[in-house]
Amino acid sequence: MKIKGKEYKTIWFENNIVKIIDQTKLPHDFVIKDLKTVDDVINAIKTMEVRGAPLIGATAAYGIVLALIKDNDQSYVEQTCKKLINSRPTAINLKWAIDRMRSKLKGVNSSEILEIAIKEANYICEEDIKFCKKIGLNGLNIIEEIYNKKKDTVNILTHCNAGWLATINWGTATSPIYHAQQKGIPIHVWVDETRPRNQGANLTSFELNEENISNTIIADNTGGILMQRREVDLCIVGTDRTLSNGDVCNKVGTYLKALAAKDNNIPFYVALPSSTIDWDLRNSKNIPIEERNSEELSFIEGLDDHGNLKKIRIYPENSNSLNLAFDVTPAKYITGLITEKGVCSASEKGLSKLFK
Q: Known catalytic residues?
A: 240
Comparison of 169 and 199: residue with beta carbon closer to ligand MRU = 199
How many helices and strands, by DSSP H and E, does the chain display? 12, 18
Is the bond leading into 89 cis (omega within 30 degrees of zero)? no
* 250 lies in the site for ligand MRU, by CB under 6 A: yes
Closest residue (Cβ) to ligand MRU?
238
Q: Is 261:192 a contact under the CB 8 Å cutoff?
A: no
Binding mask 14-53 for ligand MRU (x = CB under 6 A): -------------------------------------xxx
SS3 call for 48: coil
Q: Which of 268, 260, 258, 204 is nearest to 233 (CA)?
A: 268
Q: Can you list the positions of beta strands (E) in 121-247?
A: 154-158, 187-192, 215-218, 234-237, 241-243
* Nearest distance in Å: CB 306, ligand MRU: 29
Query: Smallest distance from the beta carbon of 110 to ligand MRU, in angstroms?
Result: 34
Residue closer to ligand MRU, measured from CB, 76 or 290: 290
CB of 106 to ligand MRU, least distance (A): 28
- Cβ closer to ligand MRU: 249 or 351? 249
User: Which residue, among 50, 59, 324, 275, has the nearest Cα to 172 in the 3D structure?
Assistant: 275
Which amino acid, residue 261?
A: A
Q: Which is nearer to ligand MRU, 26 or 67 (CB)?
A: 26
Q: From CA 248, how far away is CA 281, in angstroms rounded?
A: 12
Residue of the chain from 58, 166, 234, 334 that contacts ligand MRU (CB under 6 A): 166
* Residue number with CB closer to ligand MRU (56 or 113): 56
Phi-psi region for residue 48, left (φ > 0), alpha (ψ -120 to 50) or beta?
left
Least CB distance to ligand MRU at residue 150 (A): 26
End-to-end CA distance of the chain: 32
Q: Work out how close the CB of 162 gets to ligand MRU at its nearest, in angstroms, rounded to a whole number.
A: 4
Cβ distance 247 to 106 under 8 Å?
A: no
Applying CB under 6 A, the site for ligand MRU has a residue count of: 18
The span from the CA of 208 to the CA of 190, in Å, is: 11
Residue 270 CB, shortest distance to ligand MRU, in Å, is 9
Residue 258's SS3 state is: helix
Mark 82-101 with x for binding to ligand MRU (rule: CB under 6 A) and - for no binding: ---------x----------
Whose Cβ is closer to ligand MRU: residue 87's or residue 199's? Answer: 199
Q: Using CB under 6 A as the criterion, what x/- string covers residues 186-205 for binding ligand MRU?
A: -------------x------
- Cβ distance 277 to 96 under 8 Å? no
The smaller minimum CB distance to ligand MRU, of residues 250 and 298, is found at 250
Using CB under 6 A as the binding rule, the residues of this chain from 167 to 186 that contact ligand MRU are 167, 171-172
Residue 247 three-state SS: coil
Residue in 220, 240, 278, 327 binding ligand MRU, rule: CB under 6 A: 240
Sheet holding 11-14, edge to edge: 11-14, 17-21, 32-35
User: Minimal distance in Å, beta carbon 280 to ligand MRU?
Assistant: 19
How far, in Å, CA of 63 to CA of 103, rounded?
16
> Site for ligand MRU (CB under 6 A): which residue of 160, 191, 260, 261?
160
Cα(164)–Cα(84) distance, integer angstroms? 22
Residue ranges in 210-239 that form contacts with ligand MRU under rule CB under 6 A: 238-239
The residue within the footprint of ligand MRU, chosen from 84, 135, 162, 270 (CB under 6 A), is 162
Q: What is the Cα 289 distance to its own chain's centre?
A: 15
Q: Which residues make up the interface to ligand MRU (CB under 6 A)?
A: 51-54, 91, 160, 162, 166-167, 171-172, 199, 238-240, 250-251, 325
